[in-house]
């Protein structure tokens, strides 16, 4: 694992400060994130689940959305995401889709679980086949849905991601 440098520490502290500020302001849970490119913060995000009534408004997701808007692109290559806590499974998926170069985090998922943010059940559910998950998943195959996928596959001007 690469060692942290002074810049990593400074940007991680910014994510932590943001988590505290927005938590104290009643805007959500104790999570903050910043996206950095070329030594500058290009976006900030914080947990807005309760204030925005949006279960997907985690710090990492809101920071990724803001960074992509700022860059005018759906990828974050060349960027580092600094976050106050190890990402949950949803955020981890969003991070992989956004493709930053790296992620630097402070608190662990075990520390988050200790204060009531336990995502372990989701980590356990992900590798299960859909019919073995706690939440009911119903597969209804559809020729119409397959036709849309076929049209995408044959679309000459698609933007791959």
Q: Which of 85, 44, 84, 87 is nearest to 64 (CA)?
A: 44
Q: Determine the pLDDT at residue 4.
A: 72
Which of the residues are catalytic?
60
Q: Which of 135, 112, 131, 111 is nearest to 122 (CA)?
A: 135
Please give the Cα distance from 86 to 146 (Å, whole number): 37
Are the C-beta atoms of residues 100 and 74 closer than 8 Å to each other?
no
Q: Model's pTM, two decimal places?
A: 0.92
Q: Determine the pLDDT at residue 2.
A: 63
Per-residue pLDDT of the chain in tens (161 residues, 90 and over written 9): 566 799 999 999 999 999 999 999 999 999 999 999 999 999 999 999 999 999 999 999 999 999 999 999 999 999 999 999 999 999 999 999 999 999 999 999 999 999 999 898 999 999 999 999 999 999 999 999 999 999 999 999 999 98
Cβ neighbours of residue 92 closer than 8 Å, sequence gap 6 or more = none
């Amino acid at each position: 694992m690469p060692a942290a440098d002074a810049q990593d520490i400074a940007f991680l502290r910014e994510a932590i400060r943001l988590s505290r500020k927005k938590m104290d302001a009643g805007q959500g849970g104790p999570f903050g994130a910043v996206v950095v490119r070329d030594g500058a913060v290009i976006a900030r995000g914080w947990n807005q689940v309760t204030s925005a009534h949006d279960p997907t408004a985690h710090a990492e997701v809101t920071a990724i959305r803001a960074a992509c808007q700022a860059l005018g692109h759906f990828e974050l290559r060349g960027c580092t995401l600094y976050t106050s806590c190890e990402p949950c499974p949803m955020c981890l998926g969003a991070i992989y889709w956004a493709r930053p170069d790296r992620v630097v985090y402070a608190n662990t998922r075990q520390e988050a679980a200790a204060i009531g943010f336990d995502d372990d059940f989701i980590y356990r559910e992900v590798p299960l086949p859909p019919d073995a998950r706690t939440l009911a998943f119903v597969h209804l195959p559809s020729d119409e849905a397959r036709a849309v996928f076929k049209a995408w596959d044959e679309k000459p001007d698609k933007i791959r991601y």
